Structure 1
Amino acid sequence: MSTLYLFAGAAEPVFDIARVIEEAQADGWDVCLGLTPTAARWLAGSLEGLGVLTGHPVRWDYAFPGEGEVWPEAAAVLVAPATFNTVNQWALGIVDKFVVGVVAEGIGKGVPMVAVPCLSAAQARHPQFERSVETLRRVGVSVLHGEGEVEGGDSALFPWRAALDAVRGVVAVG
């Protein structure tokens, strides 16, 4: 079974994460869940259960020096919902958050990655956001954003199935 790192930011669709983990597991993935610090605060009451569901500790912060790695190596990474802040930090290499540090390093390691932004239309019009999307695409990240893609934080409209299918499209599940 291949390992999928599922990294989620603080946007409303993060509240569906348990269902998404189950869907990914049904697709054949061993899922490790990473959260931004704000998303971890939002899900604080569910973190233990999410760890049980995945079979791995939920992470939202860097380990201390000398601590061993607690997750298996990723075959792929899905960053969803990817907030305005997460996308921009990732593209700019600002790695003060665990999940951003892992995906920034993933570019250099050649790990297949998919990002699904979740932001307001106003944020999407910010000039840095489009530059960040272009930067990520240029280095091989599949970014599901643009005409025909869902924007905003409506959980009911967030394209979780399309996100999981896109991950399947960038790497074969073993």
Structure 2
Amino acid sequence: MTVPTAPDKKPFLYVVVCASGVAPGVGELVTAAQEANWDVGVVATPRGLGFIDAEAVEALTGYPIRSAWRSPGEPRPLPPPDAIAVAPATFNTINKWAAGISDTLALGILCEAYGMGVPTVALPYLNSAQAAHPAYRQSLDRLRSMGVLIGSSAHHPPTADGAADRFRWEEALELLAPVVGTAG
């Protein structure tokens, strides 16, 4: 699928950020996406918001970070997404998303994206004990069956923040490129 855009309009990427030790590096994905000709907006889970430098991310994107539902009648601060990257995707978010639980703005957007046909990629980042849980494997299978592209995972020991050096932000763009017809 090629994203239909006006000649002067860039495709819009939502980056959904979860509460994770690698979340402070989200600017790497934002910058890489902008260099690949995307406009970018960030949606953070409520806990994820505390892991990032909101002011720096907003300066980088030019848009406010979304984390909470807007009130009825409030304007939408971000345009509709042409694609979504969930990075880092945590155990909690992956399992809730696959189960159709929409108790945060980020999960609501992800649950709706399936019904709207928005290309979506998830880059999991979790520890090896969480990754061993059967619900996680089932959730990944369900998300894949929904067309979600799942990136490689660099699991780390449960008591450490390891594998951060192996987390590849740019993998989100690599996975989306063939689906949305953008440079990756």
TM-score, normalised relative to structure 1: 0.91
2:30 pairs, out of 21, 31, 36, with 21
1:166 pairs, out of 165, 170, 175, with 175
Question: Distance between the aligned counterparts of 2:90 and 2:100, measured in 1?
Answer: 15
Aligned Cα root-mean-square deviation (Å) = 1.4
Question: Could you tell me which residue of structure 1 aligns to residue 40 of structure 2?
Answer: 31
CA displacement 1:63-83 (0-9 Å, x = unmatched):
112212111111100001000
With 98-107 and 60-69 compared, the bigger mean Cα shift is at 60-69
> 5 Å matches for 1:134-153?
134-145=141-152, 149-152=153-156, 153=161
With 14-23 and 79-88 compared, the bigger mean Cα shift is at 14-23
Give the aligned length: 169
The letter of the residue matching 1:64 is S
Q: Please say if 1:123 is aligned against 2:153.
A: no
Question: Moved runs in structure 1, 4+ residues, more than 4 A?
Answer: none
Structure 2 gap segments, 5+ residues each: 1-9
Report SS of the residue matched to 1:160. coil
TM-score, normalised relative to structure 2: 0.87
Q: Please say if 1:12 is aligned against 2:16.
A: no
User: Which structure has more helix as a fraction of its residues?
Assistant: 1
Per the TM alignment, residue 94 of structure 1 is displaced from its structure 2 partner at its CA by 0.8
Question: Could you tell me which residue of structure 2 aligns to residue 68 of structure 1?
Answer: 75
Identity level (%) = 36
Per the TM alignment, residue 42 of structure 1 is displaced from its structure 2 partner at its CA by 2.2
Report SS of the residue matched to 2:22. helix
Report SS of the residue matched to 2:172. helix
